Amino acid sequence: MALSNASKLGLRLLQEIPNGLLAPLWVGSTNLQFVRHRRTKHFNPKWKLLRKLKYIKIKLPNFNEKAEDISEEEMRSKLKERGLVPPRPWMERQFFISSTGGTFEAYVPPEGDGKVSSVTAQGAKQKLQFLEKKTKTMMAIRKIKSFEEDFDTPVFCKTAEEIYIKAHECLVNRDKEGILKYVTERAYPELIHNIDNKTIHWKFLKSIELPRIVHARNTDVITKENIFAQLTVRFHTQQVLAVYDRFGRLMHGSEIIAKDVLEYVVFEKHLANEYGTWRIHAKIIPDWLPPRDPTAMTYKKLPEPVKSSPEEDKQPETNVPQKITEQSSPATV
């Protein structure tokens, strides 16, 4: 039986196509029809089991689940399944190794300092108390000299005054990065507090009395070699200060009137650090100091409510019942 050209072409296709991919439905003398088997996605199902093992079913966690809605036993069992240790309450706080967190054994200024003469009884008593505390101060200064051979009290007082002036100039110019050269991390937030949206005019005029060291202490932190030193310097100066708010209104002080300022400023240095520098650490405010002048505050003025006349107040009361009667009359009819 001789085959036609179409039959020969169909048989040639059957030979070239792999077995199992196509199968003839029926073969006639002239027509050929093929049906694709869809039992498997791959023509060779030999590796079907291995392909199945490549996929791992993972139990996804419920992200909407809250720890408050789960009991302690359920939480413990879930942590055991995952191999996790239950979290512990942990309180973190910032700690700077370059400065301490406070003033150790703060200096107590004598009452009436800067106004009482040494000739009076109260002034003589202050001198006696100063001599009693002088021993610890001398021992602390001797300890500082063991780390700094060139340390000299008069020279340091001049350096302290320069640091004091530069720190305030950086504050006026809002140089928040440069101010850290003259102020420790503990005093930094206290110094820049509430200076936003304000204009500050400050000027150092002169020193009424030469600055002097009134208190000196040192202490070790964690180890005996890690020593910090603190020196309290007494400043009696004349300054000008004026603070303006964002609207340009004067809040505090004056640019014309100069005032005498008596301050006790604590300077700190990390003696164990070879590159440590003296910086402002705190300011001692005595209890007997009178309160300063109140600061003027600016507020937004709210519009006053418009007062209505008594006739206008009575008018809505008379109109409301009329509207109700008009609306209710058709319903009753």
Q: Tell me the pLDDT tens digit for each residue of 95-153.
A: 778 888 888 888 888 777 766 555 566 666 666 766 667 788 889 899 999 998 889 99
- The pairing of strands 22-27 and 32-36 is antiparallel
Query: Cα–Cα distance between 33 and 10 in angstroms, integer?
Result: 9
User: Between residues 187 and 309, which one has the greater pLDDT?
Assistant: 187
pLDDT digits (tens, 9 = 90+) for 171-219: 999 988 899 999 999 999 999 988 888 999 999 999 999 999 999 999 8
pLDDT at 291: 74
Location of each CATH 3.10.450.240 domain in the chain? 121-284
- The single-letter code of the amino acid at 57 is K
User: Between residues 110 and 162, which one has the greater pLDDT?
Assistant: 162
CATH 3.40.30.10 correct for 121-284: no
Query: Percent of the chain, pLDDT > 70?
Result: 71
Query: Cα–Cα distance between 296 and 198 in angstroms, integer?
Result: 13
Query: Cα–Cα distance between 218 and 146 in angstroms, integer?
Result: 12
User: Between residues 3 and 49, which one has the greater pLDDT?
Assistant: 49
pLDDT at 99: 86
Residue 161 has φ and ψ, to the nearest 5°, of -65, -40
The label of the residue with tokens 């020969």 reads: 8
Single out the residue of 164, 195, 173 nearest to residue 282, CA to CA.
164
Asked if the model's pLDDT at residue 246 lies above 70, the reply is: yes
- For residues 286-309, average pLDDT: 71
